[in-house]
């Protein structure tokens, strides 16, 4: 009976599919070029930094960013340090991108609680050179590939 109950319960971890996958495309650098990024998120009430340290991202790398499932949009702020790992450098590029989506709540089980199902991802506005929406379904992990952002500068 215990075994059957466990099999019937879905995995209680990563139930929300609120990870939007970004692919970084820097047309200035080749595939070996390395830039340093930091990601910040904001909604109407708060802004916080996603990572404790800045992330080293190569051209073409993917990064998954969690968006706010309690609201229907999230503003994402991207800092690009042009090879230097510091927020104080002069040539840091700061770009913002606002994504909107449908968010729906669903009860899962007594053990797992609830989950949020996100769909119909859209780009409301951005300051990048170019942004392409590839897939409207956010994922549960970093393997999602939803948006390509392009640096031409």
Partner 1 sequence: MRTTLAISLMLLSWPVFAQTLPDSLKLDTAAIKKSKFLPTGLRIGTDLISIVKSQTQDDFSGWEINADVDLYRYLFEVDYGKSSRSYPGDSSAYSNDGNFWRIGLDANFLTRDEDRNVFFIGLRYGRARYSEQMSIIPRDENWGDGQRHTFSNNDLTAHWMELNGGLKVKIWEYVWLGFTGRLKFGLSENTSNPMLTHEVPGYGRTDRDTYWGFNYYVFFRIPFRKAYPILPPKKKK
Closest to 34 in 3D by CA, of 64, 61, 52, 65: 61
Q: Which of 26, 59, 68, 75 binds partner 1 (CB under 8 A)?
A: 68
DSSP labels, 107-121: EEETTTEEEEEEEEE
Output the smallest distance, CB 127 to partner 1, in A.
Answer: 23
Query: Using CB under 8 A, which of the segments 21-29, 53-61, 68-76, 141-149 binds partner 1?
Result: 68-76
Q: Is 16 in the site for partner 1 (CB under 8 A)?
A: yes
Residue among 46 and 90 whose Cβ is closer to partner 1: 46
Residue among 18 and 36 whose Cβ is closer to partner 1: 18
Using alpha carbons only, what angle is made at residue 30 by residues 27 and 31, rounded to the nearest 5 degrees? 115
Q: Is 78 in the site for partner 1 (CB under 8 A)?
A: no
Query: How far is Cα 93 from Cα 78, in angstroms, rounded to an integer?
Result: 8
Q: Is 39 in the site for partner 1 (CB under 8 A)?
A: no
How do strand 113-126 and strand 93-109 relate by DSSP bridges? antiparallel
Q: Is 107 in the site for partner 1 (CB under 8 A)?
A: yes
Query: How far is Cα 77 from Cα 93, in angstroms, rounded to an integer?
Result: 10
Query: How far is Cα 31 from Cα 29, in angstroms, rounded to an integer?
Result: 7
Residues that bind partner 1 (CB under 8 A): 10, 16, 18, 41, 43, 45, 48, 50, 66, 68-70, 103-108, 110, 113-114, 116-117
């Amino acid at each position: 009976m215990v075994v059957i109950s466990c099999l019937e319960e879905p995995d209680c971890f990563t139930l929300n599919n609120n990870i939007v996958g970004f692919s970084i495309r820097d047309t200035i650098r080749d595939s070996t070029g390395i830039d340093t990024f930091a990601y910040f998120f904001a909604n109407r009430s708060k802004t916080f930094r996603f990572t404790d340290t800045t992330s080293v991202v190569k051209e073409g790398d993917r990064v998954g960013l969690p968006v706010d499932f309690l609201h229907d949009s999230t503003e994402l702020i991207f800092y690009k340090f042009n090879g230097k790992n510091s927020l104080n450098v002069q040539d840091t590029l700061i770009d913002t991108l606002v994504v909107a989506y449908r968010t729906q709540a669903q009860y899962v089980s007594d053990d797992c609680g609830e989950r949020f199902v996100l769909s119909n991802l859209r780009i409301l506005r951005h300051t990048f050179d170019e942004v392409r929406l590839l897939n409207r379904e956010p994922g549960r992990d970093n393997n999602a590939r939803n948006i390509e952002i392009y640096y031409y500068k």
